[in-house]
Structures are given as C-alpha cells and as structure tokens.
C-alpha cells in the first residue's frame, strides 16, 4: 500500500518540472486509478506541469506494467509536435491534449526529426523555448522507458549488423516506406507501406502495403497484407520475407541501382503489354495457377477459429483460401488478358486479382491518412488520373512516372492455351509473336499439315493473304474457290463483309466440322489454321461444355465470350454420342 501524504507540498524541483514522470495504479479504496510519482508519493499537478509520462500498471497487479503513455497537454509542445510529426492527422492536436501509447511508434519513426526540433534557435519565443525543453525531457523518459529501453540499447549493434529483433520489427515499416517483397515467384517487387500492426497473442506482425496493377481496364492502386511470424533473437534484415528498399544490397549490386533500373524496365514492359491491342503471346517460363487443397483450407480455418498462429502467407479472413501451384511452360502460346481472368465465367478463381498467393484489394482500410502519406506515389495516382478525361489518356499518363512503373507487378494474368489453365505469368517471359507473312502461311500448310492435296487446297488461301480484304465479287462461286477463300475472308481486315444466310443473324462466322478416327489430322488441321492466321487456338472438351441442356447453354455462352474477345479459332472436342445415336459409337471421342 502506498502511503499518501496529506496536503503534499511540491519541492522546488518539482515546481519547475514541466514533464511529470508518474505511475498509474489502481486505488482499490477509491475504486479508480491514481497517479503517483516514481518516488511513490503523490504529486499535486501545478499549472506548469502540463506533460505527463505515465506507466500504467495492471489493475489486479500493481507490480506488472500494462502499457506506457505520454500525455501532452501543453499548448506549446502540442504545436511543436504538430509541426514536426508525420502520420498523425492535424485535428488530433486540436483537442485539449494528445496521447502517445507505447511503443510510441509515431515518435520513434520520427526520432531524428524530434532531436532536431528540440534544439533551441535564436529567434525562439519563450513559449517555444519551453516547448523544446519539454520535448527534450519527454524524449529522455521515452528513451529510458521499459517498452523501448532495450530498443535504444541495441540500436547501434543492430544497425551495424543490419539485424533486427522481432519486438522491434515495426520500427522498419514506417508508413510511406518503400519495401521489397518477393510476392510472386521470387521476383522482387516494390511496395509502399500503408500501416503496420501486430497480434501479440498469435506472434504475428502484419504490414499493409500498396502497389499498382492492371484490372484489364485501368491501372489502379491495390493493397496487400504481408505477415512475418515471430522469431527468436536477432535476424538479418535481408533474410526477412520483405524489408525496406534502403537495406537492399548484394555483392554484384552494392547500391541497389541495378535492381532499381530493372524494376523500371520491367514496369515499361508491363505497361506496354497491358495497353496494346494483343492477346496472344509466345511464352516460356514459370506460371502459377489456382490449386485447391481441401486439407490446407480446413487446416487454415481451424487455426483461425482456435486462435492459433497461421502459416505465413495464408489467412482465412484477409488472403486467398486456395493455394497456387507452380508450373513451367515450355514454348507455349498463351493469352495475356487480366480482364478475362477477372471476369470470365470460365474461371472459377475469377473476381480476385492475385499476386502469388495473395489477393489485392482496392482501398484496404487502416492506412495512414496524414498529409505526408496522402502525397505518396500510390495515393497520388488517383488525383493524377482524374485530370484526364478519357481512359486512353489515363492509361498513357500512367507511364509518365518512373516511380509508378517501378511499382508495377512482375506478373500478368492470362490463360495457357495448351494446358487450359488460368494462370499468373511472368512479365519478363512474355514475348510478342512475330508478324506472319505469306511465306509463313504457305510453310504451315506445306510442312505441318498432312492431308489430301485437294482438301488442303480447300483450306489454303496464301495467294489471297496479302489482299487487304476480299469482297464477294472477288470470289468465284465454285465450291473449291469458295472454300479456298473462306479463311482469309474471315480474318482479313477492311470493310465490313456480309455473308448472306437464310437465317437472320447466322453466317457471320466460319464453322468447319472435322470428323474421323484418331490420328487422321483433325486437331492438326485446326492448329495449322490457327498458326497460319496468327489466331489463338482455344480448345474445349465435352467436360467443359456439359451434357445437360441448361448447363451446356450456359457454358457455351461463356466459351463464345472468351473466343470472341480473343478472336480465337475455337476447337471443340465432342463425344460422338452427341452427334450420332448409335450406341456403338458412344465412347468414341471426336
């Protein structure tokens, strides 16, 4: 029990002290908290003592520290802090007092600026002189506080070895800090920190960070939540899953300038791929595609419900619930189309913009709203984009900033034509397909396609490929010449063409029925036509179409939507039973 002195008289030193150092304990007799100075006697607060550093003890154990706080009531000190600190909205200083809670993140992040702010200047008013002294006294108490004593004592050694303890990880991620993270396939990406917070019971540190991505229509700011599980001792900053860009260095790139330049070049390529009017590309490299894992989903949900730590990178409430699986594509044709990935009804994982195993969200809450953070690269883009009236102008304006380009992702979204996977594809492995010539066209039919010469002639129209467009008047009405012209006629640019048909709305596409036993060249014929015309070959099977009428109609609509957008050659594998009633053919494909 603390002895209370009746009508205590403060000492001269206490009268002159403007920053109180007190302990807040629960007074069980009065049933409320009371402040006691560190010598365990009560101190009557006089009019000059306007700033209080308070150690708040547990209510049921006055020997155990709950938290610490700095309570600033001094007008002068509040005004000085408002001018010095970022990450705190101005209105927070307009109230009668402002509180900072341990571990005093806002103060530690700006420690160097605060050290400069406490230095007296010749033209200081008396009020400002007192405020600077108050700040100096308060910083001394914070530096020796129980929550930060170990941080400041180990700061020099950690800086020398570029290491950090888990308890002090938050100090690396001040809002607005640029960080590197290998969120996609071990490729570096630049992000901007929005906020940092921790779950002490689970032993996890969360960092919300933002970067740019393309949704198929616009370049937007997307936010992601990164996590670092608790670790013991000190760890090298470069061995963290993500870390401030200022710490990056390698033996070959000691200053980080080479990586900085690579990020810019990759951002330019990303922008070019997104805005150009092409969908099909050559690709050889890694891919990530959605992969359901019921065990992992169940494990993650149960961990969440039980309050146990979850594995790094997986979260039930704020990250995707399906894993991504790694694959490798060798010299394949792919569709690059973020819009279709997000909106195609054929993609069961659509609607979510992935980055590796993470999912980006627009406007993730909890970010800093101070004036400084409202001017960062990712936040400022919304204001810049609003200056441009058309989508095209906004798309081009995005590339005017090297800072924005460096914050573009290392992946695009698309569809692998060979494996039929919706996938994340590496930007650096996407290659534009070379332009086709008449000689290329002849070569595909001559070398790739083995069939009866008369049938090949029916498909081959190399002599018409160079004509800007083929009109009906140019075509002979014989069966052979009509067939020879059909492919070129449907892919040639130029004036709108009309093909008469007795049924309204039909006759605007080219449909070829290929049938026969396996090995006669049905698939090869479709592949050759696609190659010769530089069109994607979109293959679908009976399983994707379905056998029930309602299901088939719905799936056909989705398939045709994708094929139409990509201007693809659509190859549909169907069971023979769907076109023949004979039972003996029921199990024969094609």
Number of separate helices (H) and strands (E) present in the chain: 18, 21
Q: Which residues contact 194 (CB under 8 A, 6 or more apart)?
A: 175, 208, 209, 210, 223, 364, 366, 367, 368, 373
- Tell me what pLDDT residue 580 has: 47
**What residues form DSSP beta bridges with 229?**
204
pLDDT at residue 246 is higher than 50: yes
Distance CA 226, CA 179 (A): 11
- 576, 579, 585, 589: CA torsion to nearest 10: 0
pLDDT grade for 29, boundaries at 50, 70 and 90: low
Look over the chain and give the mean of its residue pLDDT values, rounded to a whole number.
78
Least confident piece of the model among 185-199, 233-247, 479-493: 479-493
The string of pLDDT tens digits covering residues 123-160 is 999 999 999 999 999 999 999 898 898 888 888 877 77
Mean pLDDT, to the nearest integer, of 502-526? 72
Distance CA 399, CA 272 (A): 9
| Token duo for residue 192 | 């901007």
Distance CA 203, CA 166 (A): 9
- Tell me what pLDDT residue 459 has: 64
| Token duo for residue 209 | 């960070």
Strands 430-432 and 280-291: antiparallel
Percent of the chain with pLDDT over 70: 72
Query: How much is the pTM?
Result: 0.80
pLDDT at residue 268 is higher than 90: yes
Contact (CB, 8 A) for 329 and 416: yes
- Tell me what pLDDT residue 251 has: 94
| Token duo for residue 567 | 């201007």
- Tell me what pLDDT residue 534 has: 81
3-state secondary structure of 63: strand
Contact (CB, 8 A) for 489 and 497: yes
pLDDT at residue 216 is higher than 90: yes
pLDDT at residue 221 is higher than 80: yes
pLDDT grade for 504, boundaries at 50, 70 and 90: low
- State the first-to-last Cα distance of the chain, in angstroms, to the nearest integer: 91
| Residue 16 backbone dihedrals phi, psi, to 5 degrees | -80, -15
Distance CA 49, CA 74 (A): 8
Q: Which residues contact 583 (CB under 8 A, 6 or more apart)?
A: none
pLDDT at residue 17 is higher than 70: no
Distance CA 211, CA 379 (A): 10
**E strands of 372-429, at which residues?**
411-416, 421-426
3-state secondary structure of 210: strand
Distance CA 89, CA 499 (A): 66
Q: Which residues contact 395 (CB under 8 A, 6 or more apart)?
A: 218, 219, 274, 275
The string of pLDDT tens digits covering residues 304-326 is 344 444 333 333 334 444 578 89
Distance of CA 158 to the CA centre of its chain: 30
- C-alpha angle 555/558/561, rounded to 5°? 150
The string of pLDDT tens digits covering residues 270-307 is 999 999 989 999 999 999 988 754 444 444 434 434 44
pLDDT grade for 590, boundaries at 50, 70 and 90: very low
pLDDT at residue 449 is higher than 80: no
- Tell me what pLDDT residue 230 has: 93
**What residues form DSSP beta bridges with 32?**
27
Distance CA 295, CA 570 (A): 36
Distance CA 504, CA 62 (A): 87
| Residue 191 backbone dihedrals phi, psi, to 5 degrees | -130, 165
- Tell me what pLDDT residue 527 has: 83
Cis peptide before 103, with omega less than 30 degrees from 0?
yes
- Tell me what pLDDT residue 58 has: 87
DSSP 510-578: ------SSTTSSHHHHHHHHHHHHT--EEEE-HHHH-SSHHHHHHHHHHHHHHHHHHTPEEEE--BGGG
Distance CA 341, CA 116 (A): 52
- C-alpha angle 432/216/546, rounded to 5°? 90
Q: Which of 197, 196, 226 lies closest to 211, judged by CA?
A: 226
Mean pLDDT, to the nearest integer, of 254-260? 96
Least confident piece of the model among 186-200, 484-498, 545-559, 576-590: 576-590
């Amino acid at each position: 029990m603390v002895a209370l002195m009746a009508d205590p008289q403060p000492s001269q030193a206490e009268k002159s002290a403007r920053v109180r150092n007190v302990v807040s304990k629960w007074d069980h007799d009065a049933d409320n908290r009371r402040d006691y100075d560190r010598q365990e006697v009560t101190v009557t607060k006089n009019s000059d003592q306007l700033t209080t550093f308070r150690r708040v003890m547990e209510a049921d154990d006055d020997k155990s520290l709950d938290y610490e706080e700095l309570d600033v009531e001094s007008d002068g000190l509040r005004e000085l802090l408002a001018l010095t600190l970022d990450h705190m909205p101005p209105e927070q200083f307009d109230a009668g007092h402002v509180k900072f809670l341990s571990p005093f993140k806002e103060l530690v992040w700006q420690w160097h600026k605060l050290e400069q702010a406490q230095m007296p200047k010749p033209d200081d008013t008396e009020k400002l002189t007192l405020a600077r002294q108050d700040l100096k006294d308060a910083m001394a108490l914070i530096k020796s506080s129980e929550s930060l004593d170990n941080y400041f004592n180990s700061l020099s050694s950690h800086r020398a070895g570029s290491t950090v303890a888990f308890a002090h990880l938050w100090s690396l991620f001040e809002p607005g800090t640029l960080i590197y993270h290998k969120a996609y396939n071990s490729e570096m990406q630049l992000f901007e920190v929005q906020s940092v917070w921790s779950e002490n019971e689970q032993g996890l540190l969360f960092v919300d960070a933002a970067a740019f991505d393309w949704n198929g229509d616009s370049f937007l700011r997307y936010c992601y939540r990164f996590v670092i599980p608790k670790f013991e001792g000190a760890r090298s900053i470069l061995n963290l899953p993500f870390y401030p860009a200022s710490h990056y260095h390698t033996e070959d790139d000691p200053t980080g300038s080479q990586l900085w330049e690579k990020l810019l070049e990759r951002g330019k390529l990303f922008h070019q791929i997104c805005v150009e009017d092409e969908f099909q590309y050559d690709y050889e490299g890694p891919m990530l595609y959605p992969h359901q894992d019921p065990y992992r989903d169940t494990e993650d949900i149960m961990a969440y419900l039980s309050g146990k730590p979850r594995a790094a990178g997986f979260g039930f409430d704020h990250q995707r619930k399906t894993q991504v699986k790694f694959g490798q594509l060798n010299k394949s044709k792919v569709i690059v189309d973020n819009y279709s990935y997000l909106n195609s009804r054929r993609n069961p994982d659509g609607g979510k913009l992935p980055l590796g195993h993470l999912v980006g969200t627009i406007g993730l809450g909890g970010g800093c709203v101070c004036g400084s953070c409202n001017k960062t690269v990712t936040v400022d883009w919304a204001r810049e984009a609003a200056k441009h009236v058309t989508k095209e102008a906004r798309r081009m304006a995005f590339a005017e900033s090297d800072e924005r380009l460096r914050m573009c992702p290392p992946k695009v979204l698309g569809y692998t034509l060979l494996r039929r996977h919706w996938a994340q594809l590496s930007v650096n492995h996407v290659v534009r397909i070379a332009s086709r010539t008449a000689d290329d066209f002849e070569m595909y039919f001559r070398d790739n396609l083995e069939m009866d010469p008369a049938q090949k002639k029916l498909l081959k129209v190399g002599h018409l490929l160079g004509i800007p467009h083929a009109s009906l008047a140019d075509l002979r009405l014989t069966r052979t010449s009509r067939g020879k012209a059909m492919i070129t006629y449907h892919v040639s640019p130029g004036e709108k063409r009309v093909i008469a048909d007795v049924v309204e709305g039909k006759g605007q596409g080219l449909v070829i029925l290929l049938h026969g036993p396996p090995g006669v060249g049905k698939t090869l014929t479709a592949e050759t036509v696609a190659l010769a015309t530089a069109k994607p070959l979109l293959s679908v099977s009976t399983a994707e179409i379905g056998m029930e009428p309602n299901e088939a109609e719905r799936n056909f609509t989705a398939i045709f939507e994708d094929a139409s957008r990509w201007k693809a050659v659509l190859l549909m594998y169907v069971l023979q039973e769907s076109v023949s009633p004979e039972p003996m053919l029921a199990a024969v494909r094609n």
